[in-house]
Amino acid sequence: MNRRCKAIPVLFFVSTLLWFSRTEAATLEKIRFPYSPIAWNSLPWWMAKEGGFFEKYGLDVELNYEGASSVIVQAMLAGEANFAGLAGPAVVSNVLSGGDVIQVAAVVKTFTIPMYSQASIKEVGQLKGQKVGVSRFNSISHIAALNIFQKAGVTGVTLIQTGGIPESAAALMSGNVAAAMVPPPQSVMLREKGFRELVSVRQFREWNIPVVENGVAARRSYAEKNPNVVKRFIQAVFEGIRQTYENKELAIKTLAKYTKLTDEKLLDESYRFSVEALSKDASMPAEAFVALVDQMVSQKSIDATAAKKLPVSAYYDNRYVDELEKEGFFKKLWQ
C-alpha cells in the first residue's frame, strides 16, 4: 500500500511534465520554410534550427530544401509557405507579376559565387566568344556573371543554363564551357583539379556592388498581419548567424549534416566563406534593388514599363528590421 502511495506523486509529476511539454509544443507557431541552396549560405537557417533558436522565439520551423527560387515563390503564392530563404530576381519577378513575396531581411549582401575557368584562360577578356555556365537564367549566379562582364567591359559571351551548381562544375570539367559560376564546396574540387579562380569573392567585395544575394522572404499580406512572427523569425535567424561566427565546431558539424560532406577541407572552405560573407546587418539597401531591376530590364527578363510604375520599396520592407534595431536587439546580439 505504501509503495502505491509513494508512486502516485511520482506519476503525477511525470504526467505534469509531459503535459507542459506537449502544451509548449502546441503553442509554437508552425512555419514551413522552403529554401535554397544546399550550401554554406543556408547556414543561418540550419544553425537557427540546430541551436534551438526557432524554438527560443516560439517557432516550430520545418525546413524544406527546394532546388529553384522560382519554385519556392510559386509554393508561397499557392499558400504553402509564408516565409522562405531566397533573394534576388525571383522576388522582383513575382512582385511585377502581381505577387506579394517580398524581402524582409538580408543575410548575404555581396556576390559570393566565384567564376572558375579553364586553366588556359587568365583574364575575363578571353571569354569573349566563349560559353559560360550559370545555374539558371535570372538566378543569382546569372546576375553575378552579368556584373562581371559589365565591370570588365566584355561582350559577346554566350551564357549557358546548366540547371544547378553541380551541373555547372561538371560542364566546366567536361570542357562544355570555358568558365562557370561555382561556389564551395564544388569550387574547392575545381581548384584542386587545376581550374583557375578567375573572379573571386574578394574581387566582388572590392567592386562593392550593391546586392542582396540571400535573405528572408515573406508574403507581404502575411507579414503585415503577423509582424511579431516576422520579427521573431528574423531574431532566430540572426542568433543562428551569431552562433556561426562564435562556434566553428557546431557550424562545421551542421554543414556536414545538411550538405552530407565528409571532406574536412571542403567543410573548412565552406565555413570560411560563411564567416566572410554572412551579414551582421539585416537591412536591405534600396540601391541593391534598383541595380537588380535595371539589370533585369537590360536583359529583357522583365518589362521595363511595368518596372517603372513600381517604387523600389515594392520589393522589400525594412520595418521589421528597423523595429528590432530600435528595440536594441542587434546591438545586444553583437556587443
Q: Quick one: pLDDT at residue 255?
A: 95
Q: Quick one: pLDDT at residue 11?
A: 45
* More confident of the two residues 130 and 137: 130
Flag whether pLDDT at 154 surpasses 80. yes
- The CA distances from residue 17 to 21, 29, 177, 213, in Å, are 6, 21, 61, 44
What pLDDT, in 10s, does the model give residues 291-316?
999 989 988 889 999 999 999 999 99
Q: Quick one: pLDDT at residue 38?
A: 85
Indicate if 71 and 139 belong to the same structural domain: no
CA-CA-CA-CA torsion for 287, 288, 291, 297, nearest 10 degrees?
Answer: -120
Indicate if 220 and 273 belong to the same structural domain: yes
E-state strands within 36-118: 59-65, 83-85, 101-108, 115-117
Task: For residue 14, tell me if it sits in a domain.
Answer: no
- CB neighbour list of residue 272: distance below 8 Å, 6 or more residues apart: none
Indicate if 119 and 195 belong to the same structural domain: yes
Task: For residue 8, tell me if it sits in a domain.
Answer: no
Indicate if 105 and 120 belong to the same structural domain: no
- The CA distances from residue 334 to 78, 216, 246, 285, in Å, are 37, 20, 11, 20
Q: Quick one: pLDDT at residue 138?
A: 81
For the beta carbon of residue 152, count every other beta carbon within 10 angstroms. Answer: 16
Task: Point out the domain boundary residue: 182, 207, 232.
Answer: 207
Task: Point out the domain boundary residue: 186, 207, 228.
Answer: 207
Name the average pLDDT for the chain: 90
Indicate if 65 and 182 belong to the same structural domain: no
Indicate if 195 and 258 belong to the same structural domain: no
Q: Is the peptide bond before 37 cis (omega within 30 degrees of 0)?
A: yes
Indicate if 84 and 104 belong to the same structural domain: yes
Task: For residue 4, tell me if it sits in a domain.
Answer: no
The residues that bridge with 65 in the sheet, in sequence order, are 35
Amino acid at 162: T
Indicate if 94 and 186 belong to the same structural domain: no
Task: For residue 317, tell me if it sits in a domain.
Answer: yes
Task: For residue 15, tell me if it sits in a domain.
Answer: no
- CB neighbour list of residue 283: distance below 8 Å, 6 or more residues apart: 106, 318, 321, 322, 325
The average pLDDT across 156-161 equals 96
Domain count, the chain: 2
265, 90 in Cβ contact below 8 A?
A: no
Q: Quick one: pLDDT at residue 295?
A: 87
The H-assigned helical ranges of 155-309 are 165-174, 186-192, 201-207, 220-225, 227-246, 248-259, 264-277, 286-298, 304-309
Q: Quick one: pLDDT at residue 273?
A: 85
Percent of the chain with pLDDT over 90: 73
For the beta carbon of residue 120, count every other beta carbon within 10 angstroms. Answer: 8
Q: Which helix or strand (DSSP H or E) is residue 73 part of?
A: helix 69-77
Cα 253 to Cα 244: distance, rounded to the nearest angstrom: 11
Q: Quick one: pLDDT at residue 97?
A: 94
Flag whether pLDDT at 21 surpasses 90. no
170, 202 in Cβ contact below 8 A?
A: no
The average pLDDT across 313-325 equals 98
103, 216 in Cβ contact below 8 A?
A: yes
Indicate if 202 and 328 belong to the same structural domain: no
- The residue with cell 516576422 is 230
Range of the domain at 33: 27-110+211-333
Nearest to 116 by CA among 180, 201, 52, 61: 180
Q: Quick one: pLDDT at residue 107?
A: 97
Q: Is 160 helix (H, G, I), strand (E, B) or coil?
A: strand
Task: For residue 12, tell me if it sits in a domain.
Answer: no
Q: Quick one: pLDDT at residue 129?
A: 97
Amino acid at 307: A
What pLDDT, in 10s, does the model give residues 241-264?
999 999 999 999 999 999 998 989
The average pLDDT across 21-31 equals 67
Indicate if 177 and 73 belong to the same structural domain: no
Task: Point out the domain boundary residue: 158, 182, 207.
Answer: 207
Q: Quick one: pLDDT at residue 7?
A: 47
Q: Is 279 helix (H, G, I), strand (E, B) or coil?
A: coil
Task: For residue 17, tell me if it sits in a domain.
Answer: no
Q: Is the peptide bond before 44 cis (omega within 30 degrees of 0)?
A: no
Flag whether pLDDT at 231 surpasses 70. yes
DSSP state of 84: E
Indicate if 152 and 201 belong to the same structural domain: yes
Percent of the chain with pLDDT over 70: 92
Cα 308 to Cα 252: distance, rounded to the nearest angstrom: 44
* Grid coordinates given for 85: 530563404
Amino acid at 293: V
Cα 172 to Cα 178: distance, rounded to the nearest angstrom: 6
Domain CATH for 190: 3.40.190.10
pLDDT band at 22 (very low <50, low <70, confident <90, very high): very low
pTM for the structure as a whole: 0.83
- CB neighbour list of residue 97: distance below 8 Å, 6 or more residues apart: none
Indicate if 193 and 217 belong to the same structural domain: no
* More confident of the two residues 205 and 306: 306
Flag whether pLDDT at 25 surpasses 80. no
Q: Quick one: pLDDT at residue 165?
A: 87
Task: For residue 19, tell me if it sits in a domain.
Answer: no
Q: Quick one: pLDDT at residue 331?
A: 97
